Amino acid sequence: MSADAPTAAVTGATGFLGSHLCEQLLADGWIVRGLCRPTSERGDLAGVDWHVGDLSDGETLRELVDGADVVFHLAGIGLWSAGPATIWAVNRDGTERLLAACRDGDVGRVVFTSTAGTRRPAGDDAFADETDVAEPVGAYQASKAAAEELVDDYAANGGDAVTVHPTSIFGPGDEAFTAQLLAMGVEPTMPAHLPGGLSIVGVADVVDGLLAAVERGESGDHYILGGENLTYDRAVSRIAETVDGSPARIRVPATAIRAAGPVAEVVDAVADRRVFPFDRDMAEMATQRLFYTSRKANEELGYEYQPLEAHVPEAMEWYRAAVQ
């Protein structure tokens, strides 16, 4: 890496995780190049050298990455914002194009942000680790699993690349998961929550994990960046206790969630658009406890995470100002 001011190229720099990463990189003295689309909201990331284009634009990608010490590939989309074909084109094909640009250019390490969702606890195991590669459920997981293979190939063929797998990221600026979870904790009008469980990780901890992957990750390797494993019940009541709210009290029965899956599929087919972000398989998963261990990242990267309560005040401050 360059002696004093290393250069980072960041895809997804305008997103939830990407904007937190860019802030940290700038604070740490990095030169930061960010990919943004013409339509992207750049927020208040003064100091980022913006490259306008998208993952379908090989020339912009080459300019973005050439000469970068580290390429953080965070750009991606999920089922909440696009259909399966677009998800595949952005998450899988976009990664392929970015890696081609890295091969063509003078690039240090690539750090790819996949998802913990490509792993699931095996059998009766309580937790999943990096070895628990699971059959993808839905287009999002399938596209991320395919992108992971491309990154592994890149590393196996002379490139330097590490893949991280965050669990559900919680923090200010996230209008999806974080806003929903906070709403369940504080809005008396939010009537219900899901019966399963998940691993919740603060966005600041994921940013630290990304930086640790640069410093100490093994090329070709994978690291789960998780947080506390909590049932939705427990997560919601701990948020309510922290902010003195009234948690959602009625739990949606698992049977109702499972029933919603096939209904969503039918509505999708009839309406020819994605009305719900899940089909029957994903509905089934919302009833399960998807718990993860970050032991490998802890032992090999020095990764640590904070309890949920440590992240609630800042997220709540943002939620009250921006969402409510």
Tokens 């969702």 sit on residue: 117
163 lies in the site for ligand NAP, by CB under 6 A: no
**In the set 6, 8, 9, 17, which binds ligand NAP (CB under 6 A)?**
17
Residue 287: other Cβ atoms inside 10 A: 18
CA 324 – CA 321 distance, rounded (Å): 7
Q: Segment contacting ligand NAP (CB under 6 A): 61-69, 123-131, 162-170, 295-303?
A: 162-170
75 binds ligand NAP (CB under 6 A): yes
Angle CA 46–51–54, to nearest 5? 125
DSSP secondary structure string for all residues of 100-138: HHHHHS---EEEEE--GGGB---TT-SSB-TT-B----H
Taking CB under 6 A as the rule, does residue 151 contact ligand NAP?
no
Question: Quick count: other Cβ atoms within 10 Å of Cβ 310?
Answer: 14
Least separation in angstroms between residue 44's CB and ligand NAP is 14
Distance CA 274, CA 90 (A): 17
Closest CB to ligand NAP: residue number: 15
Beta strands in 188-304 (DSSP E): 192-193, 197-202, 222-225, 228-231, 250-251
Q: Determine if 143 is a binding residue for ligand NAP (CB under 6 A).
A: no
Handedness of CA 306, 169, 151, 279 (dihedral sign): positive
Task: Indicate which single residue of 8, 9, 14, 205 sits in contact with ligand NAP (rule: CB under 6 A).
Answer: 14
How many Å apart are CA 191 and CA 103, to the nearest integer?
51
Query: Which amino acid is present at 61?
Result: L
Q: Measured from the CB of residue 3, what is the shortest distance to ligand NAP in angstroms?
A: 30
Span 165-194, contacts to ligand NAP by CB under 6 A: 166, 168-169, 177
The nearest distance, CB 34 to ligand NAP, in angstroms, is 9
Pick one of 28, 37, 52, 149: the residue that binds ligand NAP (CB under 6 A).
37
User: Could you say which of 9, 31, 48, 54 contacts ligand NAP (CB under 6 A)?
Assistant: 54
Is 200 a binder of ligand NAP (CB under 6 A)? no
Q: Which two tokens stand for residue 231?
A: 């049932």
Residues 99-138 touching ligand NAP, rule: CB under 6 A, are 113, 115
Q: Within 218-277, which residues bind ligand NAP (CB under 6 A)?
A: none
State phi, psi for 22 to the nearest 5 degrees: -60, -45
Determine the size of the site formed for ligand NAP (CB under 6 A): 25
The span of 11-19, 211-219, 305-313, 315-323 binding ligand NAP (CB under 6 A) equals: 11-19
Q: What is the rounded end-to-end Cα distance, in angstroms, of the chain?
A: 44
- 279 touches ligand NAP (CB under 6 A): no
The residue ranges that bind ligand NAP (CB under 6 A) are: 11-12, 14-18, 35, 37, 39-40, 54-55, 74-77, 90, 94, 113, 115, 166, 168-169, 177
